Amino acid sequence: MSLSVPRLRIGSTEIIALADGEGPFFSPRAEAFPEATAAQWAEADRYDPGAVDAEGRWRLQFRAYAIRADQGITVVDAGIGPADSPAGSWAPVPGVLPESFAAAGIDPAEVDTVVLTHLHTDHVGWAVVTEAAVPSAAGVLDGNASTASATSGRRPFFPNAEYLLQRAEFDVIDTLNPQLHETLTDPLAAAGRLRLLDGDTPLRAGRAVATPGHTPGHQSVLVADGHDMALVTGDLLVHALQLLNPELAYAHEADPEAARHSRERMLGRETAGTLHLATPHLTEPFVSA
């Protein structure tokens, strides 16, 4: 895959798309969106022809975003991860996010904030890594050696960042994926890097917005400047079907009703300008609502 670095400017803030991988979905796409009609599929395929492959499978992108503002660098989501990542059970690991950061000219050590939209494995892959997974980055370990050994050699990939997760998401780890205590939140907490949010919260760049439904504590990031707005969606929508038809459920939403409500609320937002969307899974890194 190519490592071009698409960017969107909102006022003085820059949103940078960071590719991590691409590959087919693990089940037939009709099962993923059981309510979609043939006409809706046809419309979605015209809108995003790259999201279906020659065998008729859903083809997904997996990407993260960086938001570069005067006040620092925020990263939204952490991709599918390295070869030993839990997402490897279905996603095309190893991802190439470290190379994408290099192509964008961003050192992970510069990142001061990481917003995890939710705890599915394809969004937290690089958040915490093992030394074995990223040996070349061992130099950034510095003073964290004791922390790393206390948590089975795992360390935050962004060594100087605070990681933000909604408390409503943290509270359901046992339901979502109990393994994440050991592989994600315990190492972050041990390093003093985990901060739990209660709903909408101002960030250095933009604001975290609670968008529950896909998972109980799902969140998105809204960046606004005058009339221009961008929403880094996370999995608020996962396919063009849900952009064109926000009412359509995705089969793996924890609460389809809440997910639909979050989608309709965010996509139907009144704005005098353009609402740009930065989505992890659509073919184009930036689309308009």
Q: Note the residues at the interface with Zn ion (CB under 5 A).
A: 122, 235
Q: Which helix (H) or strand (E) holds 43?
A: helix 38-47
| Contact between residue 286 and residue 17 where contact means Cβ atoms under 8 Å apart | yes
For residues 197-227, one letter each, b for 16 or more C-beta atoms within 10 angstroms of the residue's C-beta and e for the rest, the string is beeeeebebbebbbbbbbbbbbbbbbbbeee
CB-wise, 80 or 267, nearer to Zn ion? 80
Q: What is the smallest separation between the CB atom of 78 and Zn ion, expressed in angstroms?
A: 11
CB-wise, 122 or 162, nearer to Zn ion? 122
CB-wise, 155 or 218, nearer to Zn ion? 218
CB-wise, 10 or 64, nearer to Zn ion? 64
CB-wise, 13 or 215, nearer to Zn ion? 215
CB-wise, 20 or 122, nearer to Zn ion? 122
209 forms bridges with which residues in the sheet? 220
Q: What is the smallest separation between the CB atom of 118 and Zn ion, expressed in angstroms?
A: 8
Residues 74, 208: Cα–Cα separation, whole Å: 11
Residues 262, 250: Cα–Cα separation, whole Å: 13
Residues 55, 179: Cα–Cα separation, whole Å: 34
Residues 176, 280: Cα–Cα separation, whole Å: 20
Q: What share of the chain is helix, strand, coil (3-state, %, to 5)?
A: 30, 25, 40
Strands 7-10 and 162-166: unpaired
Q: What is the smallest separation between the CB atom of 242 and Zn ion, expressed in angstroms?
A: 12
Q: What is the smallest separation between the CB atom of 122 and Zn ion, expressed in angstroms?
A: 5
Q: What is the smallest separation between the CB atom of 281 and Zn ion, expressed in angstroms?
A: 6
CB-wise, 218 or 276, nearer to Zn ion? 218
Q: What is the smallest separation between the CB atom of 238 and Zn ion, expressed in angstroms?
A: 6
Q: What six digits make up the tokens of 156?
A: 């935050």
Q: What is the smallest separation between the CB atom of 32 and Zn ion, expressed in angstroms?
A: 12
Can you spell out the DSSP letters for 45-64?
Answer: HHH-GGGB-TTS-BEEEEEE
CA 26 centroid distance within chain: 19
Q: Which residue's Cβ has the minimum distance to Zn ion?
A: 235
